[in-house]
């Protein structure tokens, strides 16, 4: 992590965001206190048999932040830096993300402290199944529905679904989302985050009077979300992607890049650098390019008070979680840059996860065209609500998004009351 956020505990940032928005929407102090505390958190220490036959103890977490609007929803990440405060903050952000998209969910998050890059597939399976059995009392289609996150994928979800189903004695596909299609996954889930981001950009450009056809685009981070949004924005909106980067560095060509060829190059070499006909560019310089649309799709805290004044893009669409610090937000707002905040711009993934859960519960599956059309409708509706709210209060889009999200959760708490 770099920039202002480095000194800040992620959960302290999450709580600060609630305080900021509480003033805007005149939130009752008691409800503000409820919203600053996770409802339930579980820490588990569990043994896993390693490939050499020895046992190693791992620590994992599942935090259920708020359930006022429905079952919890949120990913599980495997990473050496996972901490309880990080998981708490991510669970809070999932609460707001589900609420701003008006999904009938609360927010949760999970994580295991481990380095999956150093583990065999067999070890990862044993770790996943053991972790799933430890958190099994807290998860389920009506209670808490995990999904993939950093260094977990559809295979991880298949193992969790199977472990949970074995304990129940029957198949429960709705216990997780982001599963393989063969066992109850949804069409369109793989590209949902990037596609949702593309729809949000299109709506923001419309509102601003910016033509997306021919608009120049830079994408920082060429992983799942970044590569999909780069592909779709060029093919479906006719925009010109002039720069992309990954963790090793980036490439730039002012005439535009052929994204399909860049993907093939990355698949072959493991990086985007060295792509024929493009010059090298650093991740830092990519952010400062004179483009119409900038898509940070990599790590948090990339746009800080140090470089915010050098951002020239008219629209910044946060495909990553937390790429802009609060200090940078103020600078961008002053400079009339439209920021599409992460809880809106990258919420396509959780929206299609919701569609997957609905299909699992009904046992009735939709064609990809239907999934994409429904995603488009939800993104357009949510963008309009956020932009209208930001305008109404004279605040930036992030505060507008939080105002909607926090207000919806607060309303649910108020209506339900405190029991017993």
| Whole-prediction pTM | 0.93
| Residue range 193-203: mean pLDDT, rounded | 97
pLDDT tens digit string along 49-74?
999 999 999 999 999 999 999 999 99
Contact 73, 107 (CB under 8 A): yes
| Among 338, 319, 323, 382, CA closest to 193 | 319
| Among 126, 101, 112, CA closest to 75 | 112
The predicted pLDDT at position 274 comes to 93
Phi, psi dihedral angles at 48 (to 5 degrees): -135, 135
Q: Residue 109: is it exposed, middle or buried by C-beta count within 10 angstroms (0-12/13-18/19+)?
A: buried
In the sheet where 315-317 sits, what is the strand order? 279-281, 249-252, 240-246, 216-220, 293-296, 315-317, 338-340
pLDDT tens digit string along 102-142?
999 999 999 999 999 999 999 999 999 999 999 999 999 99
pLDDT tens digit string along 320-376?
988 998 889 999 999 999 999 999 999 999 999 999 999 999 999 999 999 999 999
Contact 189, 356 (CB under 8 A): yes
pLDDT tens digit string along 255-281?
999 999 999 999 999 999 999 999 999
The predicted pLDDT at position 176 comes to 98
For residue 303, the 8-state DSSP code is B
The predicted pLDDT at position 2 comes to 42
Handedness of CA 186, 187, 189, 193 (dihedral sign): negative
Candidates 73, 109, 240, 266; catalytic one: 109
CA dist list (Å): 346 to 201, 243, 352, 418 = 11, 20, 11, 33
Told to judge if 109 belongs to the known catalytic residues of this protein, a careful annotator would answer: yes
- Structural domains of the chain in order of their starting residue, each with its CATH number: 38-180 (3.40.50.10860), 192-345 (3.40.50.720)
7 pLDDT band, cuts 50/70/90, is low
The predicted pLDDT at position 1 comes to 38
- Rounded Cα gap, residues 378 and 347, in angstroms: 10
- Dmax over CA atoms of the chain, in Å, equals 67
| Among 377, 358, 310, 369, CA closest to 105 | 358
């Amino acid at each position: 992590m770099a920039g202002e956020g480095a000194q800040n505990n992620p959960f302290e940032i999450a709580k600060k965001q609630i305080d900021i928005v509480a003033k805007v929407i005149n939130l009752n102090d008691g409800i503000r206190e409820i919203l600053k505390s996770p409802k339930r958190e579980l820490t588990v220490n569990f043994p896993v048999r390693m490939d050499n036959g020895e046992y190693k103890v791992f620590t994992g977490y599942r935090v259920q932040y708020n359930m006022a609007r429905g079952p919890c929803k949120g990913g599980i990440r495997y990473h050496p830096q996972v901490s309880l405060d990080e998981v708490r903050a991510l669970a809070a952000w999932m609460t707001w993300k589900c609420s701003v998209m008006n999904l009938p969910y609360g927010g949760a998050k999970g994580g295991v402290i481990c380095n999956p890059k150093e583990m065999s597939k067999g070890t990862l399976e044993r770790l996943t199944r053991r972790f799933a059995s430890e958190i099994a009392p807290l998860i389920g289609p009506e209670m808490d529905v995990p999904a993939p996150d950093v260094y977990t994928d559809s295979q991880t979800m298949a193992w969790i679904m199977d472990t949970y189903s074995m304990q129940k004695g029957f198949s429960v596909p709705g216990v997780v989302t982001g599963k393989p299609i063969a066992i109850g996954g949804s069409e369109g889930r793989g590209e949902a985050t990037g596609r949702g981001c593309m729809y949000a950009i299109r709506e923001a450009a419309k509102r601003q009077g910016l033509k997306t056809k021919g608009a120049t685009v830079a994408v920082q981070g060429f992983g799942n979300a970044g590569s999909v949004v780069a592909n779709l924005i060029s093919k479906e909106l006719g925009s010109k992607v002039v720069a992309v980067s990954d963790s090793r560095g980036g490439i730039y060509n002012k005439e535009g890049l052929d994204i399909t060829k860049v993907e093939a190059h990355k698949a072959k070499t493991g990086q985007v650098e060295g792509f024929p006909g493009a010059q090298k560019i650093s991740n830092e310089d990519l952010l400062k390019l004179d483009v119409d649309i900038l898509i940070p799709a990599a790590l948090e805290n990339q746009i800080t008070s140090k470089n915010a004044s050098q951002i020239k893009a008219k629209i910044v669409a946060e495909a990553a979680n937390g790429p802009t610090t609060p200090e940078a937000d103020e600078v961008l707002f002053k400079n009339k840059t439209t920021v599409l905040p992460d809880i809106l711009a990258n919420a396509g993934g959780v929206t299609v996860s919701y569609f997957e859960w609905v299909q699992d519960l009904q046992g009735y599956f939709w064609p990809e065209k239907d999934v994409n059309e429904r995603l488009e409708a939800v993104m357009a509706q949510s963008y309009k609500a956020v932009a209208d709210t930001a305008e109404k209060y004279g605040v930036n889009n992030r505060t507008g998004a939080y105002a909607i999200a926090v207000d919806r959760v607060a309303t649910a708490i108020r209506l339900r009351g405190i029991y017993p």
